[in-house]
Amino acid sequence: MKTDEIDDNMRAAIRRLTDGERECLRRCLAHQTAKEMAIDLGVSPHAVEKRLKMARAKLGLSSSLEAARLVAADDASNRLVPETSGLSRATAIGEEVPAAFSPPSSTRGERRNSIYITPGAILMILVAAAALLVWLQASGHAGQQVLQPGAGGAPSAVSTIAAPLPGTEDALRQLVAGLASGSPNYEKLSPEFAAVVRRDLPMTRPMFQALGELKSVTFRSRGMKNDDVYNLVFTNGEVLMSAALDAEGRMAGGILQPGNRIPSSTTPSPGTEAALRRLVAGLASGSPDYDRLAPKFGDLVRRDMPMSHPMFKSMGELKSIAYRGKGKMGDDVYDLVFANGGVLMSAVLDANGRMAGGFIAPPGTPLP
């Protein structure tokens, strides 16, 4: 079985693997012998062989290396590690809220609002500032909890108040116009929120430019943070956004949840293919060029090298890379074909042209 043939039955079988079996498979990717594994794990070589045998039996495979590749590919498509951006953290209470990108192979109803913080083989996430959740609390709200998304895609614990608070719709319209033009009116934002918007503008501006003209703004409900939640419809998509104002009438935070995917484009953004090629080559060799990665993303890549290096090394030579289209966050999505398999990968660059995030999934996965 190839890495692009992971169906629901295989995923269910992978879930039945024990931690010990997974660890031995991971070490197979590093080409460790049973004796070497036994020494590192403090067990007998017989115990290692038994774990590998059980793993092969559960997956219905005859090769431990093939099983290891499948498990690594499944992990890569279903676990996410956030590249923390300013618009994906709750700064007022000092607790990071990672942006959650729904894995392309997941059922949207099950995975759309999940938050993941797990290590694994080249586990990447988009750092576009408009990823799932945004909440920047004003100093007056510091004692309140962080707003969490509900299972249906809308904020949880909302009321059915029929009318929004004065000024919230205007605040959203001003922010959206500023993000699309690249020149937000920072005086209309609280200092904390303004700092984050300024820092993440290289990510948010392309997204709102791609969405096109704002067609309508419809009030939906009152959020649990006393924020007003709106549905914004653009020419090329829609988003769910909310706004909370501080005592001076400035926008102090809210949520931002993308709706429909940004329309595909026949042309990728300059530099994304080259960035992916460099990253893949670096992962396979064990020496990524960290100077070409955004600092926080570079930290994640460095941390996950023990798994990502053997995975990409085992896949062999990169044979081809083909552009698929734009992802939900405006990232460029590519099909990568290797001598021993393939993956779907995406890339997004920061203002300095460094790779700042992306995702990885089995080839053939629908665009997120």
Q: What is the pLDDT of residues 24-44, one digit of tens each?
A: 998 888 788 888 898 888 889
What is the spatial distance between Cα 319 and Cα 239, in angstroms, rounded to a whole number? Answer: 38
CATH class of 266-361: alpha beta
Q: 3-state class of 134 per DSSP? A: coil
Please state which CATH number belongs to domain 128-258. Answer: 3.10.450
Cα(55)–Cα(344) distance, integer angstroms = 26
CA 350 from centre of chain: 15
In this chain, the answer to whether the domains covering 3-75 and 128-258 adopt an identical fold is no
Tokens 């931690």, residue?
Answer: 19
296 touches 83 (CB < 8 A): yes
Mean pLDDT confidence for 154-183: 79
What class, spelled out in words, does domain 3-75 have in CATH? mainly alpha
172-211 per-position pLDDT tens digit: 999 999 999 999 999 999 998 888 888 878 777 877 888 8
Write down the pTM of the prediction: 0.42
Other CB atoms within 10 Å distance of the CB of residue 94: 8
Q: Any idea where the domains of the chain sit in the sequence?
A: 3-75, 128-258, 266-361
Q: What average pLDDT is seen over the chain?
A: 73
